[in-house]
Structure formats: structure tokens, C-alpha cells
Amino acid sequence: MPKYRFNNDYSEGAHPRILEVMTQTNLNQEEGYGNDSLSQQAERLLKAAIGNPGATVHFVSSGTQANLIVLASLLKPYESAIAAVTGHIFVHEAGAIEATGHKVNVVNTPDGKLTADLVRQVVAQHTDEHMVKPRAVYISNSTELGTVYTRADLESLARVCREKNLVLFLDGARLGAALTSAASDLTLPELAKLVDVFYIGGTKNGALLGEAIVINQPALQTDFRYHIKQRGGLLAKGSLLGAQFVALFSDDLYFELARHANATAQTLAGGLKALGHSFLADPVSNLIFPILPNALIRFLEDRYDFHVWCPMDEGRSAIRLVTSWATPADKVNEFLDAAKTWSERGS
Amino acid sequence: MPKYRFNNDYSEGAHPRILEVMTQTNLNQEEGYGNDSLSQQAERLLKAAIGNPGATVHFVSSGTQANLIVLASLLKPYESAIAAVTGHIFVHEAGAIEATGHKVNVVNTPDGKLTADLVRQVVAQHTDEHMVKPRAVYISNSTELGTVYTRADLESLARVCREKNLVLFLDGARLGAALTSAASDLTLPELAKLVDVFYIGGTKNGALLGEAIVINQPALQTDFRYHIKQRGGLLAKGSLLGAQFVALFSDDLYFELARHANATAQTLAGGLKALGHSFLADPVSNLIFPILPNALIRFLEDRYDFHVWCPMDEGRSAIRLVTSWATPADKVNEFLDAAKTWSERGS
Amino acid sequence: MPKYRFNNDYSEGAHPRILEVMTQTNLNQEEGYGNDSLSQQAERLLKAAIGNPGATVHFVSSGTQANLIVLASLLKPYESAIAAVTGHIFVHEAGAIEATGHKVNVVNTPDGKLTADLVRQVVAQHTDEHMVKPRAVYISNSTELGTVYTRADLESLARVCREKNLVLFLDGARLGAALTSAASDLTLPELAKLVDVFYIGGTKNGALLGEAIVINQPALQTDFRYHIKQRGGLLAKGSLLGAQFVALFSDDLYFELARHANATAQTLAGGLKALGHSFLADPVSNLIFPILPNALIRFLEDRYDFHVWCPMDEGRSAIRLVTSWATPADKVNEFLDAAKTWSERGS
Amino acid sequence: MPKYRFNNDYSEGAHPRILEVMTQTNLNQEEGYGNDSLSQQAERLLKAAIGNPGATVHFVSSGTQANLIVLASLLKPYESAIAAVTGHIFVHEAGAIEATGHKVNVVNTPDGKLTADLVRQVVAQHTDEHMVKPRAVYISNSTELGTVYTRADLESLARVCREKNLVLFLDGARLGAALTSAASDLTLPELAKLVDVFYIGGTKNGALLGEAIVINQPALQTDFRYHIKQRGGLLAKGSLLGAQFVALFSDDLYFELARHANATAQTLAGGLKALGHSFLADPVSNLIFPILPNALIRFLEDRYDFHVWCPMDEGRSAIRLVTSWATPADKVNEFLDAAKTWSERGS
């Protein structure tokens, strides 16, 4: 029997209500390439949820695709994007951004969050045409370390971006988990007002695939479909993406799923804290990074699938545990029981 | 009420048997990024169907994505691909191939098919480092004009490719329709033996999305997943693609759907021929291009959706009619009745 | 002893007056990367010659470099350049433009000249995001066939560019020969007013290397040095380029050299016409394409170096003869004598 | 009167013996694009100096051009180059490498030198297709901090490269200064044996422009001229580059000039040490980085041009002083006198 997987939030397929909309609309004849009625309905729902009727919305297949298309659309050849050293575009996209011709300027941050000061430092270091010219600021919310941006964080980044003529682009592959985190004081419309471009991730929050790119700034909206097409991101049956976002943004499903993911992760975090373990970064969303004794990690690895993130000291490492809309409460409890058992029997 | 659409083969969603496999496996926990059990099962089914156990199979989301990833993997920066002037990569991909840095060398062909002689001419014209160096030959089967390659055609292209050190790459977005065409004398394994890389199109033959790239030549297989990832083509929930190809390559579904698409197109073609109309290219698959009086075209446009392809002479134009696995016989008959009515009433 | 070369206009080094300025200023300490006093002086001389004080001027090393830097600066990723099928960027730059990510849309023209109608046709064919979006019009003056644009030609192109929101970019690798051609009714300031960006070729008109890019439109001037640097075109010792253009644009040297090149070519053309030969394109500048019997071509090839351009019919081919500032009158006369001798002795 | 410049080694034009060869051969008719007799003679001289008759040699215009052409030729789309954080390709080329589609993996080093251990760490961190695949190791000798690689350093790097299937590429923009440094125990042939590709810088050692790329590994030599042409680096009058390297590699001129540059820098370094100043990095070549009181720096800035590199502590900063083949001894002495005067008068 396979081990239960806590290693990501995309191990299962789609939430049943998403499959339902797909199935119900399956045999309708629709216009191709995203001009179908479901994509249009999804766009309306999203614009209402965001509170910006002037935004444009485009659906693409994956986070890497969203990132490379957005950045390729934003940047002139010599312009670059600023990102945290943990940023998905810097580490985990096989050089996708560079393949579109652009450098990623990277800064170290302890918690995966960019700050206005870090952005200012990068801009200050790039003074003339012998260097690239930073133009976009890339942040992930929640971050790759599971942390989230507060309103004050975003306001401060938005301010430095206006000041330095930078575009603020938010990777929301896990935006649901971010906005429903107890550590977040932001609503979707509030967040949307503070960024120029962002996307709302479907894949990691219950969809089969699909990220909804939202472009707030009219100047950045021009000809965006050309960019999608050129990078191979325009699906012939675009209604596949539209249908899923119709389901996600009906009856609050999107945030309901995210709340479940967060809640199960919080149960895990609480249980591990109670056992005396600390964390690599504040465990506030559905990605948590407990620091555990290596022997306990080996014990748990025999029973569960998860990533060992990095060694911390002689005897301990941080691991990454991820929950999702599909994580059952009993698996979380079993995991905690296993950890407790190991602790009680004196390691 | 919307008009019935004959304008493409991707107006509907998935064939029900595909949705079924997706639904049944929906809640299984799977490894991400194409390493799931369904993709592995699909790979086994495809390798068996192709008859090449040494091939590697990769699933991506769209035809443009398949084309750009394959060509980016095959070509050094100064190398180019030879294509017909009607080739999808030359006209209809928003410069996707050029965006990966490569020129497409284009040749005129009346029927959308490349020939060995045309390939030889392009190679002969490229003599030194002031020009690009042709390295790949790109063909579509069926072509963008609905014609198909015969065994002799492919053998002759394969020969010139070996002779000139070119890689033969076949875009099989409509491979089902090609191989089940009465004009084709090729089986899938026979075709596979003659090309270096090709893909088997799902999107235009019953899948929601998905193209199965097959790499026959071991030297071209290295690190292919890096290319997919870098271009944003690696889906987190890769089982979505695997599941669909499992369905398509079980119980001959793939070819069954293609036969239906061809048969309905042949009924249309036969009916229009019977009314005295000729064709831009031989109508042998599910894309047909009847040449009709402009007044008849206007009459039909009020009742059906289809593309007007190009003007032919003073009073006539070619239109494009496309059928699919989902085209009902009665819609075809109604279309022919309409055309007949118009003819009988003396235009 | 090597054969005399009529095969291009860059067989010799620099005109002595250019070497002189270089030698005189050789040991001055100068700011690097084009910010030296000679480049600044050259910029002033060029802006005066052009009659546009608002232009910016940048010096780069080669025509291919100028073309790729200018087009990379003008085009968004999905935008393309329209060019004649003989255009240098389409054929003879090893895919340099495509390597920056852009397609070249090509049209057939008998004489190497683009027309407003041809431009309109290309624009009309590109209707949506499945295709590239033409944005720049690339012309060469003189063309690769030695023909030149008249004022009416350029006005008509400028008009269609304004109308269709296209940028008109003129490759002036042989601009000296174009403007001093008897077939040209344009001055440099008149030409400069009609195009958005162009360059004044040094390499093929007496310099060791160097093309002066002139950007007339303020909106296109932003950050251009970043583009030059990024493509490896910013020379540390930029004064090498500045010094040469100071020499070329002092005392009318630039046009004096071009007039000499044209005059020697006209002597050749006149002599060959007198012997009854016709031409592939009107011989009006320093590139001429006489159509000669193949036996005569072989006879001349034993004595001179030149390109055989293309076969014309059973027994004749077009050859390309090129003269330059350095071509001595006696070599031209000897060539004509040889041709005459061959004709007189009854072939 | 302008201040004397210690800010780089390319403020003056060419060494007189270089200009002499250029002038003497100026009016010879030569084949274009690097196929001239001078480039061929230079190639022979260089291969003899390197001691590798199987190498190929190509001349290009600038260091950035050499770097981007070489790396674009070495790397597949998903492959990357490892460099020091001070590496020219990482900081000072306006994203030239990224513009060819490739990521630069960067590591911190105190002295600008990469080590085998640092290379191993980068390789170890790149484990699968979600990340780029390091393939080239880029080092500069001398480094951007004026330090030099010893034989042991290079042997160790060459070993890790063989072990990890990496290509070792050495940027020799200042190779003359490196090999004639007292800190170097390498000859040119010894160095050449240890690297796969490198270039010998002309621009910063007495030439007007020109870097000689040497490709030792036969497998990396294929079609290299295509790469040069595609990036705009093939000069029509290639003899301009050939002539300069003929001069540089005749009568030991190349190393003679480098020795002069090093000697003047050593005088500067010795004088500043004698005044009690320390250095950011060991001053062993023609780039030195003394750490001086800010008030002294301001005093010197009134008299000389040089770069202030970085603040070190409250009251002191590192500056960069560069000497060249053209630096006169008296300017060095005057500079030291000024520094001494300032110190003596009690700051």
C-alpha cells in the first residue's frame, strides 16, 4: 500500500464540484482558445471577487507558464525581475525566465518574503547600462516557505514600486491559503488593489490545472493573448480552464478549500509544537516546515511521503509538510500519533 | 440558438470514456509532474501501439507547446526547421518557434505536403555561416489542408533526412484522422519507424487537452523533461494527461473517434461533390475545403459556423469544414440539405 | 598573384584620412564605451548632416549587429519585421533576428524594394493573436540588388507605416552609394525625415568598421545603450568608431567616397551595356548585376574575383560586381577590356 | 586640463606597433569575414604560442561578445554557467548571457576566484529538471578583483569539470596581466591545456579591439562561425582583428605590454603599502584595490580619475586603480607623491 503523501498540494485530481461543472458542460459547443462562454463567466466572477471591473483575466495551465508569460510581457530585453532567493522563478523553473531572455536579481530573505528595503538595495546597485535594469518585483503569496504577506508588507512594496517605476507581480499559486491564513489581514480586493499583476492559483487549490492571471494596470493589458499564444499557453479547449474557475468562484468554494488546507496544516503544526518541535518559518498556511530529530524523520518517512528540506544542525533537519483541500483529518491525526509514539518510546 | 459549428474539431469537451477514467481516478494520490501511475500506464500503452519499446513518451498540453518544446530541444541556436508555407509553426503560432530563437525556412507547396525535393532545395540554398543551417524537417499529418502523407511520401522524406543529416519531426495534432484516412496506407508503427520525433494529438481527437510526444531516436531523448519544464509545460497534475491517453489507447478508442470524424467529413464531401462542387485540396480526412459560390457561402453562414478560407475567383471561395468525434450525422445531413435547397431554388 | 576582387566593397582597410584621425588621436586618454570626445564630436557632425538635433546617434561594429540591436529594441516578443525576400536580415544574418526572438515576415519583390502595397498585404494577413504582429518595416537603401529608393518610394512607405502603426527602419549599410546614385532624388536630411530609425554604414564606405545608428523618434530612444551593451556591441574603446565617423563626416568625405564607388560601377555598367549585356536589376549604385554568357563568366573568373549570383537561362547567369572607394579606374578598364576581348574573338 | 585616468586599461588607443601593422597592410585586398591572410597568420602565431595545433581560433570584437557567443555555443537551452558573484558575465554585461536564454549560477567568493568546492556545491544543489543543469564553469583570469589563478587552482577546477561533465571556460580579457603576474606559476601553453575554451584579450592589452577565442576541445569547435555571425560578431573587415593579433604575438609584444601594466601597478601598490594602506584583494596584477581614508580619496579624486569600489568601514573605502601598457612611470610617481603629501600634512 502506498504511503500517504504530505509532500504537496497537488497529489489528487479536482474537487468534485469542479468535475461536476466540467461534466455538465462537456458536450456544449464552444468557441476555442479561451473565447468560450465558461471562460467569460469565470472572468466575470473573478472580476467581481477582485472588485476591479477594469482588470483583464486570462487562464493558463501552470504556475511556471504564468510566470514566464507575465514576465516576458512586462520586461524589455534588458530589464530584470527582483525575487527572493527562495522564489519559484529563481530556483524551480529550470531557467524558464532566463529562457525568455531575462535575468532574475535575487536577494536573501530569511522567511521567503521580499521587503521594500531589499528592493531598494537591488535598484541602488543597478546604476547604468552595463547592468540589467530591474523593472519587475516578483513575490509569492503565500511564499515558498509558507509565510504570508500582510497588508503593511504589500503597501510598503507597492510604495517602493511606484517610487522606483517597478511593476509589482504577485505569484498566487497558493493565494487561497495565503488569504485564509490567520496571519493575513488582507481580502482579495484589498490585495488586488496593491499589485499590478497577479494570478490566482487553481492547480494547488482544487483544480486539475489552471491559474487565473489578473492584470490590473491597463497599460500592461495590451496584446496579452499574443504572449499566451506565443508561449504555447492558449488551450484550444479553453473552457476546461473557464469551467474550473466558474466552480471555484461559485459559493466561495475557492476559499473554502483553502481554509480546509490551512486548518489541517495548523492541526499538524499545533501537534508538533505540543511535542516541543520548532519551525524553520512561522507555520501559518498549508506549507509548514517543522524541525525534527533525524531519527524521527526516518521513522516518519517509513510511514509518510514528504520532503526533507534541509539539515539544521548535527541531529535535526527541517521537513516540509503540505496539506490540501483533500487532506482528511484522520491522516493528520495518524501522523501526529506516529510522532508522539516515537517521542514517548524515548526515540 | 447558436449555430452549429463546423469550424474546428475542438468545440466540445472530452469523449465520455475519457471523462470516465478521469473521474474514476480523480481522488487517487499520485506523484506529480508526469511521474504518476496513469502517465506511466499511458506510456506503456503508447509504446505498444507504436511498436518501439525504446521510444520515450512525454505528455504536454497543446500543439504549439509540443512544437516549440520539440524544436527547441532539437536545434542549436543557428539551426532552423524547414516547413511548408501552410505549416502550423510558420503561420499560426504567433512566432513561438522564433521566440525560442529559431528561423523557420518555408517552402511553397500546393497541398500542404513537403517533398524530398523541396527539402533538398532548401538545404542547397543554405551554404555557409551567413545563413541558418537547416536541421529539422517539420511536417504535419494530416496537413493543415487536410491532406495526408503516404508511406512512399514519408519514406522519401526519411531518406533525404538521413542523407542530409536532418531530423524528421511530425506534428500529429490530427494523426488519428491521417492514419484512418482512406488516402493513407500507413499504420501507426510504420509511421513511427519513419520519423525521428512525432506527437499523437489528443486535443483534436476527443481529449480535453494533451499531445503525446514520442521520441524514437535515443540521441534526442536526453534531458527532454528539462525542456518541458523550462517552457512551462510540465503539469503538476500530470495524471490529467496520462488518464486521457489511457482512455484513448484502450479498446482502440483513439482510432474509433478519428474514423467517425473522417466518415462525417466524407459524407459532407460526397454530398458537395454530388452538387457539383470542387475542392481546394483532396478531401481525405476530417478537414475539407469545398469551393462554393459566394452566395451559397453567405446562405450557409446564416445557419452554420465555419471558416471562409480564401477567395478563389470572382464568384467563389474555398471554405473550411471540420468534423470531429462529436459531429452527429444529422448535422451533416442538415448541412447538405441546406446546400441542396439553395442550389435547387436556382441560387 | 591574387586576382583583383570585385566581390565586395570591404576588401581593403580604411581610407587614409580615416587612419589619419585614428593615428592622431591614438594616445589621448578617453572615457570608455562610447562616451569619448570623438564619438561626441561624430554625433554632433552627424546630427548636423542629418538636420535633426533631436536624434540620438550610436556607433556599433557591424551591419548585422546594428540590425539585431535595433530590431530587438523596437519589437515586443510577439512583434515581427517585414522585409523583402532579398533583405539582409532575412537571408544573410544566420538567423540573427530570430535569435532575438522575432519572426521576419518576408515578401517577394523583383528589385529588392519594399512597397507600401506589399506592406499593406502583410499587415492584412496578420489578423489575430495566432499570428505574429508586424511592427517594423525593414528596408535597405541601397538594396541588396543595388537599387535605390526614391523620395516618392519612401514617402509612400512612411505613410503606410504611420497609418498602420509601424516603425520604418532603414538599413543604410550602403547609404552613401544610395544617396549619391543618379537614381536617387533624396538628400540625407530628407531621407532622415522619412524614417524612424536608420543607420549610416561606415564599413562598406571606407571605414575599418562602424555603423552609425540614428534614432529620430524620441519614444524609440529610451535606454538604447542597454540594448547595445546586452548584445555585446559596446566597444570599450568606442573612440575607434567615433574617430572614423569624424573623418567620414568632415569635408564631405563620406559622400566623396560613395561617389567614387558609384562612378566606377557606372563605368563598368556602361561598358557591359555597350557590349550588349543586360542586367538583373537597374545598375544605379556600386552593386551591379550584369547577365553574361556562362563562357564569358568563366573567362572573367580566371582573371577576377566576383560572385556568380544566379542562373538566368540555359546559357547565361547574373553575376554581382561591386566597386568601392578603393577601386582604381584602371582595374575597371582592364575588366571591360577582358570582356570586350572575349566578345571580339567570337566567344 | 583633464585629470589623468587610472580608471581602466582601455583609455588609450592601440600600441604603436599594432597601428603600424594595420597601416602597412591597409590597402591590401583581403577576403572578408575573417578569412583574410592576416587572421590566418594570427591564428598560426596563436596556435604556436598556445602549443595546441588542434585548437581553433576566432577573433571577435569585445569581451561581452566573446562571453555570450561562447556560452551560447556551449549550452543547451536548460543548461547554465557557474560564475563567481564578481564575474563579468553575472554583473557587468547587461544580462547578455540571459538574453541568449541561459541562467548564470552564482557563488560568493572573497577574492573573485572560483574553487572546485564551490563548483561541487552548485552541482550538488541542481538535482532534477525543475532546476537548470550547470554545464559550464566560467572563470576570469585575472579576475575582476585583480587576483590570478595558480596552476594548482586550475588543475583542481579542471578535475572537477571532468568529473562532473562540465566545460571549463576562461575569460582572458586580462590574460596577459594574469600570466605575467608574479603570483602566477603558469605559462600560456600550460593554462591552455587545462581549459576547454578560453580567450586572449586584446582590448585591455594594447589593441584597439579584439579578443581571440581559442577552442581546444574538438567537440566544441563545430560550426562556431555560425554562432559568431548570428550574434553580429563577424566583422566584414576581419583583417582588422587579425592584423592586431599578428602584431601582439610577434616579438613577445603581448606579454611585454602586460608586464609593463603589472609593473606600474606594483609600483603603485608598493608605494601605498609603504604608506600603511591595506588592500581589498591581493594586489598582484594591473588592477589593485587599496583601502584608503575617505578624505584621502577625495583629495586624490581632485587630481585623478579612478573608481571608488565600495565602502569598507566608517572612514575608509576601497578604490580601484588600473594601469596599462600606456601608463607612464611619472604618472604613477606623481600619484604616490600626492598620497604621501596628503598623509604628511596630517590628513
Q: b/e string for D270-307 if b means 16 or more Cβ within 10 A? A: ebbeebebebbbbbbbbbbbbbbeeebbebbeeebbbe
Three-state DSSP class for B232? coil
**Closest-approach residue (CA) in chain B for A2:** B29
D226 and D283 both lie in a single domain: no
**Chains contacting D with at least 3 CB pairs below 8 Å?**
A, B, C
Residues of chain C with confidence (pLDDT) below 70: 346-347
Whether residues B96 and A326 touch (CB distance < 8 A) is answered with no
Phi, psi of D47 (to 5 degrees): -65, -35
Pick from A77, A100, A225: which is nearest to C72 by CB? Answer: A77
pLDDT confidence of residue A346: 66
- Look up residue B329 and give its DSSP letter: H
For residue B11, give the nearest of A30, A99, A231 by CB distance.
A30
Same-domain pairing of C191 and C240:
yes
The answer as to whether B4 is a domain residue is: no
Distance of CA B76 to the CA centre of its chain: 25
C-alpha cell of residue D24:
602597412
A9 within some domain: no
**Chain D residues with at least one Cβ partner in B under 8 Å:** 33, 72-73, 76-78, 100-101, 129-130, 132-133, 223, 225-230, 234
> D136: which strand partners?
D81, D167
Check residue B2 and give its pLDDT. 86
DSSP state of A118: H
Half-sphere exposure for B43 (CA within 13 Å, toward CB): 20
For A12, which of B23, B27, B65 is closest by C-beta distance? B27
The torsion angles phi and psi of B136, rounded to 5 degrees, stand at -120, 145
Burial of B171 (0-12, 13-18, 19+ CB in 10 A): buried
Q: Do D63 and D206 belong to one domain?
A: yes
Separation CA B205–CA B258 (nearest Å): 6
Tell whether A36 and A174 lie within a shared domain.
Answer: yes
Same domain, D241 and D308: no
Do C113 and C238 have their domain in common? yes
| Residue A259, SS3 per DSSP | helix
Contacts of A99 in chain D (CB under 8 A): 77-78, 101
Task: State whether C244 and C264 are in the same domain.
Answer: no
- Average per-residue pLDDT in chain D? 97
Give the model's pLDDT for residue B1.
Answer: 73
> Are A101 and D98 in contact (CB < 8 Å)?
yes
Which chain A residue has its CA at the smallest distance from D310's CA?
A: A125
Domain boundary (C182, C215, C248) is at: C248
Residue B216 lies in a domain: yes
Q: Which residues on chain D are in Cβ contact (under 8 Å) with B132? A: 226
In a shared domain, residues A298 and A182: no
D72 CA: distance to closest CA in chain C (Å): 11
Identify the helix (H) or strand (E) that includes residue B134: strand B133-140
The reply to whether residue A99 touches residue D91, judged by beta carbons under 8 angstroms, is: no
Distance from CA of B288 to the nearest CA of D (A): 39
Residue B240: pLDDT band with limits 50, 70, 90: very high
**pLDDT of the residue at A2:** 85
Domain membership of residue A6 (yes or no) is: no
pTM over the 0.90 mark: yes
Q: What is the mean pLDDT of each run of 10 residues along chain A (347 residues)?
A: 94 98 97 98 98 98 98 98 97 96 97 98 97 98 98 98 98 98 98 98 98 97 98 98 98 98 98 98 98 97 97 96 98 98 82
Residue D147's nearest CA partner among D268, D10, D283 is D283
- Cα B38 to Cα A79, B21, B45, B208, D57: the distances in Å are 41, 10, 10, 16, 52
Closest residue in D to C4 (Cα–Cα): D29
D227, D248, D269 — which closes off a domain? D248
A64: nearest CB among B25, B29, B229:
B229
What's phi and psi for B116, nearest 5 deg? -60, -40
Give the closest of D132, D133, D223 to B133, CB-based.
Answer: D223
Domain boundary among D248, D282, D304: D248
Q: Are strands D56-60 and D211-215 parallel, antiparallel or unpaired?
A: antiparallel
Quick one: CA torsion of D183, D187, D192, D198, rounded to 10 degrees?
50
- Give residues with Cβ within 8 angstroms of C205, minimum separation 6: C9, C174, C175, C176, C177, C248, C254, C257, C258, C261, C324, C325
State the number of CA atoms in the 13 A half-sphere of D115 facing the CB: 7
> Based on the domain organization, do C134 and C266 belong to the same domain?
no
Confidence of residue D2 (pLDDT cuts 50, 70, 90): confident
Is A177:A8 a contact under the CB 8 Å cutoff? no
Q: Return phi, psi of residue A205, to 5°.
A: -140, 45
In angstroms, the CA D42 to CA D58 distance is: 10
Residues in chain A within 8 Å Cβ distance of B62: 232-236
In this complex, do A223 and C72 lie within 8 Å of one another by their Cβ atoms? no
Sequence-ordered alpha helix ranges (H) in chain C: 16-24, 37-50, 63-74, 88-91, 96-99, 116-125, 151-164, 175-179, 188-194, 224-230, 239-248, 253-274, 294-301, 329-344
Q: How far is CA D206 from CA B316, C27, D244, D262, in A?
A: 72, 11, 9, 13
The answer to the question of residue A2 being in a domain is: no
Query: Averaged over B233-255, what is the pLDDT?
Result: 98
More confident residue, A1 or D65: D65
Interchain proximity C78–A234, CB inside 8 Å: no
Q: Is the pLDDT of residue B346 over 70?
A: no
Q: How far is D203 from chain C (nearest CA, A)?
A: 7
Chain B residues inside the 8 Å CB shell of C131: 91-92, 94-95
Size of interface A-B (CB pairs under 8 A): 158
Compute CA distances D144 → D88, D92, D199, D329, whole Å: 7, 10, 15, 24
d(CA D112, CA D144): 6
Cβ pairs bridging B and C (under 8 Å): 57
Chains within contact range of chain C (3+ C-beta pairs < 8 Å): A, B, D
> Could you write out the three-class secondary structure of chain D?
CCCEECCCCCCCCCCHHHHHHHHHCCCCCCCCCCCCHHHHHHHHHHHHHHCCCCCEEEEECCHHHHHHHHHHHHCCCCEEEEEECCCHHHHCCCCHHHHCCCCEEEECCCCCCCCHHHHHHHHHHCCCCCCCEEEEEEEECCCCCCCCCCHHHHHHHHHHHHHHCCEEEEECCCHHHHHCCCCCCCCHHHHHHHCCEEEEECHHHCCCCCEEEEECCHHHCCCHHHHHHHCCCCCCCCHHHHHHHHHHCCCCHHHHHHHHHHHHHHHHHHHHHHCCCEECCCCCCCEECEEEEHHHHHHHHCCEECEEEEECCCCEEEEEEECCCCCCHHHHHHHHHHHHHHHHCCC
Domain shared by B131 and B261, yes or no: no
Q: How far apart are CA D180 and CA D185, in angstroms?
A: 9
Q: Provide the shortest C-alpha distance from residue B182 to chain C (in Å).
A: 31
The residue range of the domain holding B293 is: 254-344
Three-state secondary-structure class, residue A178: helix
- With beta carbons under 8 A apart, name residues in chain B contacting D226: 78, 129, 132-133
Q: Tell me, yes or no, whether C242 and C278 share the same domain.
A: no
Whether D200 has a pLDDT exceeding 60, the answer reads yes
Cβ–Cβ below 8 Å for C130 and B92: yes
Residue A11, domain member (yes or no): no
Q: Is the alpha carbon torsion for B54, B58, B63, B68 positive or negative? A: negative
What pLDDT does A1 receive?
Answer: 73
C223 contacts in A (CB within 8 Å)?
A: 76, 78, 129, 133
Confidence band (pLDDT; 50, 70, 90) for B185? very high
Q: How far apart are CA A107 and CA A87, in angstroms?
A: 10
> With an 8 Å Cβ cutoff, are D77 and B72 in contact?
yes
Contact (CB<8Å) D93/A129: no
According to the model, what pLDDT value does residue B300 have?
98
Domains held by chain C: number: 2
Contact D230 B78 (CB under 8 A): yes
Query: A1 in a domain, yes or no?
Result: no
- Would residue D3 count as lying in a domain? no
pLDDT of the residue at D347 = 56
* CATH at A290: 3.90.1150.10
Q: Give the span between the Cα atoms of A347 and A276, in whole angstroms.
A: 14
Alpha carbon of A227: minimum distance to chain C alpha carbons (Å): 7
CATH of the domain at C99: 3.40.640.10
Q: A124 and A232: one domain?
A: yes
Q: Which of C129, C135, C165 is most worth mutating to test chain A (most A CB atoms within 10 A of its CB)?
A: C129
Residue B347 has pLDDT above 60, yes or no: no
Report the distance separating Cα D289 and Cα D41, nearest Å: 38
* Residue B20 contacts residue A13 (beta carbons within 8 Å): no
Question: How many Cβ contacts (< 8 angstroms) between chains A and C?
Answer: 46
